[in-house]
């Protein structure tokens, strides 16, 4: 039997980390970074916020793409109900790491998949939550890590896939979610739109 051809897939992201994770699926995809603003109502519930940002990115690219599935994603870090975005500078990065030191926080990634093959546009939303527990960080460790610049463009000011891995003592949930793209949840969402990942399931 002839294998069904997957639809055109577009990743609406400028993140090299998300692009790298997408390659793990082993299916062709394109990258089209959105220019959507990440500014939203900060009082919004964190999971809804992550989904709303992901949908905004996906819809912006979807409006310019034909006959495709467009994937948008956005990750937020939450501690004590406070949403931490990307640090504006080194001082803010240090402040974030002090807040996370010796404590548990949640990493939430929202995912949106928009189907431009239909009119009107259809989409599906989802999110993944992972609990991350940090080691107790002293000021010299915080200063040294911030100087690496690794967390400059990361929510919460750290990158678990880089040298930030030594800041994390424990993780409960999906590791890939903390990197920026929960692969299991994404594969299930894509299969809803007819994408075969590792054959039909």
Residues labelled as active-site residues: 74
Positive or negative, the CA dihedral 14, 89, 150, 138 is negative
Contact (CB, 8 A) for 61 and 8:
no
For residue 23, give the H/E element and its range. helix 16-23
Task: Concatenate the DSSP letters of all residues of 76-135 into one string.
Answer: EEEETTEEE---SSHHHHHHHHHHHTTSEEEEEEEEEEEETTSSS-EEEEEEEEEEEEEP
Integer Cα distance of 196 and 12 in angstroms: 20
CA nearest to 183, candidates 23, 13, 6 = 23
- Residue 34 has, within 13 A of its CA and on its CB side, a CA count of 25
Integer Cα distance of 139 and 198 in angstroms: 46
Strands 8-11 and 30-31: parallel
């Amino acid at each position: 039997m002839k294998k069904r051809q997957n639809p055109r897939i577009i990743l609406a992201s400028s993140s090299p980390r998300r692009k790298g994770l997408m390659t793990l699926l082993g299916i062709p995809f394109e990258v089209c970074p959105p220019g959507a603003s990440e500014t939203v109502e900060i009082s919004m519930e964190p999971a809804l916020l992550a989904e709303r940002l992901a949908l905004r990115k996906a819809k912006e690219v979807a409006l310019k793409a034909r006959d495709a599935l467009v994937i948008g994603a956005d990750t937020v870090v939450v501690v004590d109900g406070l949403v931490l975005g990307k640090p504006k500078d080194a001082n803010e990065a240090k402040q974030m790491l002090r807040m996370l030191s010796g404590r548990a926080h949640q990493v939430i990634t929202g995912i949106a998949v928009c189907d431009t093959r239909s009119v009107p546009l259809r989409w599906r939303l989802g999110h993944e939550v992972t609990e991350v527990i940090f080691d107790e960080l002293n000021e010299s460790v915080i200063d040294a890590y911030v100087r690496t610049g690794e967390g400059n463009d990361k929510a919460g000011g750290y990158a678990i896939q880089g040298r930030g891995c030594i800041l994390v003592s424990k993780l409960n949930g999906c590791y890939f979610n903390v990197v920026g793209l929960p692969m299991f949840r994404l594969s299930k969402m894509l299969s809803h739109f007819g994408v075969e990942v590792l054959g039909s399931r």
